[in-house]
Amino acid sequence: MAILSAENLRYSYDKKSVALDGITMSVEEGEYIAVIGHNGSGKSTLAKLFNGILKPESGKIIVDGLEATDKKSLFEIRKKVGVVFQNPDNQLVASIVEDDVAFGPENLGVKRKEIGERIDFALKAVGMEEFRKSSPTRLSGGQKQRIAIAGVLAIKPKILILDESTAMLDPIGRKEILSVIEKLNKEQGVTVIAITHYMEEVISADRVFVLDDGKIALTGTPREIFREKEYIKSIGLELPTASYIASKLVEKGLLEKGEYLTEEELLEGLCK
């Protein structure tokens, strides 16, 4: 059974334009999903609908058997769906790392001893154990975002939504977050929904949803998606760097035709 399913979602911020228009999708437990689209395609709205921060105008969202539009189940929904937002600075509530990670479990009314265990677990999962007593303001962007992820993990959600959580980070910070997410998905079995406009982040996903103008324009595995090179470009998205370089090289006849998604594949193709 799908852990999260959405049916015919519609949402608009004002009367003039529609942010989401008839979104239907379902996510299986343990899947790594990427939602991709250019700015204003409605992808961030989706994240806020999935944990009940926004209420859809019409349509249905079912999270692990609970209706997300039902006000009474909001607390339960938010226990199941953790969201990490874009700006790490605006998500941290406390001046000390462990206090911030404790915020979620405190809200759930978890006992003191278990909060300590959850902090250990969450900080370990993001590789930030040694910063437990530090102040977040002294950390780098990537480290702050890892603390934000730890803060969400301490709630022990089944689904982790990353709403452009790497957009404000430098390439090193982005890599840190990606490896943490992949590890969580593979080792802890957390269902991941990564919302992004960086193609590199899509490659390791199981399935990709491409959003354009509030509608799902394409779905499929990353490989299937990037076969539609022209379409991807036409909706304002870019190919992963390796694919882009490969396509230029193929045009010039310097590389055999084929699928080049990652740097390794490109390298292999070039060495032939």
Residues 3-62 binding other proteins (CB under 8 A) are 48, 51, 53
Inter-residue contact 12 to 19 (CB < 8 Å)? yes
Q: Is 110 in the site for other proteins (CB under 8 A)?
A: yes
Q: Is 141 in the site for other proteins (CB under 8 A)?
A: no
DSSP for residue 82: E
Part in contact with other proteins (CB under 8 A); list of ranges 12-20, 93-101, 178-186, 210-218: 93-101
Nearest to 191 by CA among 50, 17, 11: 50
**CB of 86 vs other proteins, minimal distance in Å:** 8
Q: Is 106 in the site for other proteins (CB under 8 A)?
A: yes
| Identified binder of other proteins from the candidate list 85, 198, 226, 260, rule CB under 8 A | 85
Whose structure tokens read 């009940």? 52
> Of 56 and 240, which has the nearer Cβ to other proteins?
56
Phi, psi of 50 (to 5 degrees): -65, -25
Nearest to 98 by CA among 117, 80, 84: 117
| Identified binder of other proteins from the candidate list 87, 134, 140, 262, rule CB under 8 A | 87
Nearest to 154 by CA among 216, 195, 103, 95: 103
> Of 44 and 196, which has the nearer Cβ to other proteins?
44
Sheet holding 20-28, edge to edge: 20-28, 2-11, 58-63, 66-67
Q: Is 115 in the site for other proteins (CB under 8 A)?
A: yes
Each residue 207-246 as x (binds other proteins by CB under 8 A) or -, in order, gives ----------------------------------------
**Angstrom distance (rounded) from CA 169 to CA 102:** 24
Inter-residue contact 10 to 57 (CB < 8 Å)? yes
| Identified binder of other proteins from the candidate list 82, 141, 240, 269, rule CB under 8 A | 82
Q: What does the block give as tokens for 1?
A: 């059974």
**CB of 166 vs other proteins, minimal distance in Å:** 16
Q: Is 153 in the site for other proteins (CB under 8 A)?
A: no
**Angstrom distance (rounded) from CA 63 to CA 72:** 14
Nearest to 216 by CA among 39, 31, 42, 29: 42
**CB of 77 vs other proteins, minimal distance in Å:** 10
Q: Is 98 in the site for other proteins (CB under 8 A)?
A: yes
Size of the site for other proteins (CB under 8 A): 41
Cα dihedral across residues 220, 226, 228, 230: positive or negative? positive
Part in contact with other proteins (CB under 8 A); list of ranges 64-72, 83-91, 203-211, 236-244: 83-91
Inter-residue contact 164 to 86 (CB < 8 Å)? yes
| Identified binder of other proteins from the candidate list 16, 71, 111, 252, rule CB under 8 A | 111
What residues line the site for other proteins (CB under 8 A)? 48, 51, 53, 75, 78-79, 81-83, 85-87, 89-96, 98-99, 102-112, 115-116, 119, 137, 148, 151-152, 155
